[in-house]
Amino acid sequence: MTTHTLRSKRRRSALRTAAFMSPWLIGFSVFFAYPMVSTVYFSFMKYDGFGAPSFNGLTNWTYVFSDYPMFWPSLANTLWLVLVMVTCRVVFGLGIGMLITKIKTGTGLFRTFFYLPYLAPPVAATLAFVFLLNPGTGPVNSILGDLGLPTPGWFNDATWSKPALTMLAVWGIGDLMVIFMAALLDVPKEQYEAAELDGTSPWQRFRFVTLPNISPIVLFAVVTGVIQAMQYYTQPLVAGKVASGVIGGSGQQFEPGYPDKSTLTLPQLVYNLGFQRFDYGSACVVALVLFALAMAFTALLMRGRNNLIQAGD
């Protein structure tokens, strides 16, 4: 084969690759690269959507970090969600996954029941939980009251709003159940049989056989859980709006975070700064903080020892 034909063949194959990749190449440029550069640019600009943006140095950055009253509460909330909500979801997800592998009668029915809440659209599920947990007439407090137990204010009480969101998140645990179930069924049976012959207790078998086998999946669940917690938007915003009763046509008068900033998360700040206060510059600062956090944990997913998302060849 001559070098000439080899080169033309190579060029043909490059063109072919470009043709197949073209939708994404355009999508990447227009909906990722351009807006990312633009977000960095606006973070140093004063811009309210009218007139021309003007350079104002680090003003937006210092405003967000030291003067914007919602920034640190929202980070604290995110940390709470990571520590409590993610932990609860992983523990319950694993528990339900183990339970379903042990259930021998009516397995299909149980699996469907456990999985169904995951499918409930977030706005609908949130509305349902605000109703179930409404302090006055909600079924949960009715039952708690009848049993003589305390009846918290749930979504209307700053100490109970995040636990209420956690319950909502644990309810929709179907995705983790399926992933854990698949992992648990992959654990070699012989290892359990050998461990049993050695006279181990069920806890020891869980600790020394199950856990080591599924630890990459546990790590995957934790890291994706952290990423989801940082992006948590629809449920806390809708819960706050509905529980506070402040819902208007375009909803612009509602200050996110009800009650008392307890449900604020970073993405809600982008909305608050950009679309309620028309301070696009500061909104872009928060957007970049969110971006840095999301990418750090994504890198953890790709680079981790176990190469959790198999990006390699």
Partner 1 sequence: MTQLLDPPRPPAASPEAPSPALRAARRKAVLHWIAVHSLGVAAALFFVLPFVFVVLTSLMSDQQALTRDLIPRTWEWDNYRRVFDTPGFLTWWRNTLLYAGVGTVLTVVSSVPVAYALAKFRFRGRRLSLMLVISMMMLPPQVIIIPMYLFWAKQLDLSGTLWPLIIPMAFGDAFSIFLLRQFLLTIPDEYLDAAKVDGCGEFRTLIRVVLPMAKPGIAAIALFQFFAAWNDYFGPQIYASENPGAWTLSYGLESFKGAHHTDWNLTMAATVLVMAPVIAVFFFAQKAFVEGVTLTGVKG
Residues between 140 and 159 that touch partner 1 (CB under 8 A): 142
Any contact of residue 255 with partner 1 (CB under 8 A)?
A: no
Amino acid at 88: C
The piece of 64-72, 82-90, 255-263, 282-290 that touches partner 1 (CB under 8 A) is 282-290
Please list every residue from 84 through 103 that binds partner 1, using CB under 8 A.
Answer: 96, 99-100, 102-103
Is residue 282 within 8 A of residue 63, CB to CB? The reply is yes
Any contact of residue 242 with partner 1 (CB under 8 A)?
A: yes
Q: Which of 68, 115, 154, 155 binds partner 1 (CB under 8 A)?
A: 115
Any contact of residue 122 with partner 1 (CB under 8 A)?
A: yes
Cα–Cα distance for residue pair 170/149, rounded to 1 Å = 22
The piece of 62-70, 81-89, 158-166, 245-253 that touches partner 1 (CB under 8 A) is 245-253
Please list every residue from 55 through 84 that binds partner 1, using CB under 8 A.
Answer: none
Please list every residue from 160 through 219 that binds partner 1, using CB under 8 A.
Answer: 171, 174-175, 178-179, 182-183, 189, 192-193, 196, 216-217
Q: Which of 11, 24, 48, 198 binds partner 1 (CB under 8 A)?
A: 24
By beta-carbon proximity to partner 1, the closer residue of 178 and 264 is 178
Residues 76, 81, 86, 91, Cα dihedral to 10°: 110
By beta-carbon proximity to partner 1, the closer residue of 229 and 262 is 229
Q: What are phi and psi for residue 259, nearest 5 degrees?
A: -85, 135
307's torsion region: left (phi>0), alpha (psi -120 to 50) or beta?
left
Q: Which of 82, 94, 230, 264 binds partner 1 (CB under 8 A)?
A: 230
Q: Which of 120, 144, 187, 222 binds partner 1 (CB under 8 A)?
A: 120
What angle separates helix 122-132 from helix 161-171, to the nearest 10 degrees?
130
Q: Which helix (H) or strand (E) holds 55?
A: strand 54-55
Cα–Cα distance for residue pair 125/115, rounded to 1 Å = 14
Any contact of residue 110 with partner 1 (CB under 8 A)?
A: yes
| Dihedral sign (CA 130, 135, 138, 140) | positive
